[in-house]
Structure 1
Amino acid sequence: MEILSSSTTAVDKGLKKQVYQDTFRTPDYFWFDPVTMELQGFHLVDGKYQEIQVTTDGRLWSQQLELYLGVYEGKLRFFTTENELILSSEELVELEHLRAQQAEERAQQAEQEIARLREVLRTQGIDLENI
């Protein structure tokens, strides 16, 4: 995967692509331009890169990774074979933090409900300690 810039585009699309094809024999070669959102990929077939055809939703299949590459919210992202976005490590941490926060809120609500029910029982003369 090459991330293109104005200073590297010509080399990435030319010489580097040739080197990855002929010398390293890299099975898949992709480039992405974060300014223009150009995403292009190639797969090595009989020693020559063949352009990977874009899916109807604008994604490219990587046989090597067994994932799709695509642009999502202006960023290059990976997608499963079921077309599900693979979360970044930062997104996973954020999701876990949100889940932990929600679990804490549910625990607090449960504690408040238990306290309320204890009070109802106490006002009805029921002592939970002696049951």
Structure 2
Amino acid sequence: MIIAQEQELQENISEDVIFPPGDLYSDEPPVETELHLRQIIILLQCLEWLWKDRNDFYATGNMTIYYSPNQKKSEYFRGPDFFVVLGTERKTRKSWVVWDEDGKYPNVIVEILSPSTANTDRDFKKELYQDTFRTPDYFWFDPYTLEFAGFHLLDGKYQPLEANEKGHLWSQQLELYSNPK
């Protein structure tokens, strides 16, 4: 009797369950905290305001980049907190698929550090963005400690950026200074 009731309950539940569509936009998990979301929004809004008359770039946050040499979305994907691709059409996308975008990888990536991601952002992702993506400018920022670091790709290796007298770091790709303080 109990088994029959449980089976009937499961059948009723399956009718009420709403399944997500198969054409999902991105495989990225939600942002870590509200502060992370705010940092991504600030970066995006500032760049879009500064470049409001430009249509030759794509900037977004917390979106998956698919980069499999086998052109499979099920392997080799990563989702930076914020990235910019230059020399491309400024249009809405569901994800960044390298093989559908003429092989283009981001020109600039910014990772927002958190206790759970900081080591990965400083080590694994830095190496991935240097060696695989070949992203010219890579930055990370910790919104809690205000740790801010930047790197520029030179001869295949990231070189740390030196802050100017005001503490700003220069992005050669964006031709802009940044300073979170």
Alpha-carbon separation, structure 2, partners of 1:30 and 1:60: 9
The two structures have a TM-score, normalised by structure 2, of 0.39
Count of residue pairs the alignment pairs up? 72
Q: Which amino acid aligns with 2:117?
A: T
State the SS of the aligned residue for 1:21.
Answer: helix
Identity among equivalent pairs (%): 62
User: Who is 2:153 aligned against?
Assistant: 44
Q: Deviations over 1:55-75 (max 9, x none)?
A: 111110000110001024xxx
Alpha-carbon separation, structure 2, partners of 1:29 and 1:57: 20
User: Who is 1:81 aligned against?
Assistant: none
Q: Which amino acid aligns with 2:115?
A: S
Alpha-carbon separation, structure 1, partners of 2:144 and 2:171: 22
User: Who is 2:174 aligned against?
Assistant: 65
Q: Deviations over 1:106-131 (max 9, x none)?
A: xxxxxxxxxxxxxxxxxxxxxxxxxx
Alpha-carbon separation, structure 1, partners of 2:180 and 2:134: 26
Alpha-carbon separation, structure 1, partners of 2:120 and 2:156: 20
Give the Å deviation of 1:46: 0.2
Alpha-carbon separation, structure 2, partners of 1:23 and 1:71: 28
Alpha-carbon separation, structure 2, partners of 1:68 and 1:17: 20
User: Who is 1:30 aligned against?
Assistant: 139
Unaligned runs of 5+ in 1: 73-131
Q: Which amino acid aligns with 1:34?
A: P
Larger radius of gyration: 1
User: Who is 2:118 aligned against?
Assistant: 9
- Whichever structure has more helix as a proportion of its residues is 1
The two structures have a TM-score, normalised by structure 1, of 0.54
Q: Which amino acid aligns with 1:21?
A: Q
Q: Structure 1 stretches (4+) deviating beyond 3 angstroms? A: none
Unaligned runs of 5+ in 2: 1-109
**C-alpha RMSD over aligned residues:** 0.6
Matches within 5 A, 1:1-131: 1-72=110-181
